[in-house]
Amino acid sequence: MSQKTPEQRLADAGLQLPAAQKPSGNYVPVRRFGQLLFVAGHGPKDADGHYMCGRLSGESDIARGYEAARAAALNLLATVKESVGDLDAVEAVLKVLGMVNADPAFTAHPKVIDGCSDVLVTAFGERGLHARSAVGMGSLPHGMSVEIEAILVLK
């Protein structure tokens, strides 16, 4: 019996990868060093290519932030796939930095960034478990609600 690919696991969960995003500045979306893959910050673009924007300020914004973090994770994985050719090349997700555009009183950053972590574990199973930071920011590029960057190791 063959093992499911990360994309098949995502599809089983009703998720699919979008087209990879292009950088919005003078940087590369991915930098490889040996077997390490450093993935630049990715935002949550929706199916129409628009950023999911807005500052999170209260409990009622957690679900919106969670969905934005899911979208950012899918965008990040699309870039990884474009860079290495196949998500099966990923041995493990090592570290995730999740940044949340939040009011100073907002404290549910981990619940928001769980949207990203849940996508990574769905795609890779135990290989998707990672160390993580979830932090608040006064603003993010394009006004987006979250930004996610990651470090992965390749097979």
How many domains does the structure of the chain reveal? 1
- Nearest CA to 42 among 63, 70, 16? 70
Q: Does residue 31 sit within a domain?
A: no
pLDDT tens-digit series, residues 27-46: 999 999 999 999 999 999 98
In a domain, 60, yes or no: yes
50 closest CA partner among 14, 7, 21, 11: 21
Q: pLDDT digit string (tens) for 55-111?
A: 999 999 999 999 999 999 999 999 999 999 999 999 999 999 999 999 999 999 999
Mean pLDDT, the chain, integer: 96
* pLDDT of the residue at 31: 98
User: Would 43 be classed as within a structural domain?
Assistant: yes
Task: Decide if 34 is inside a domain.
Answer: no
Residue 29: inside a domain, yes or no? no
Of residues 33 and 21, more confidence is placed in: 33
Which of 124 and 21 is assigned the larger pLDDT?
124
User: According to the model, what pLDDT value does residue 1 have?
Assistant: 46
Q: Is the pTM of this model over 0.85?
A: yes
Is 102 exposed, middle or buried (CB count within 10 Å of its CB: 0-12, 13-18, 19+)?
A: buried
What residue numbers bound the domain in which 65 lies? 6-15+39-154
The answer to the question of residue 23 being in a domain is no
pLDDT tens track for 111-150 = 999 999 999 999 999 999 999 999 999 999 999 999 999 9
Domain assignment present for 126: yes
The answer to whether 97 and 133 have CB atoms below 8 angstroms apart is: yes
What CATH number is attached to the domain comprising 150?
3.30.1330.40
pLDDT at 48: 86
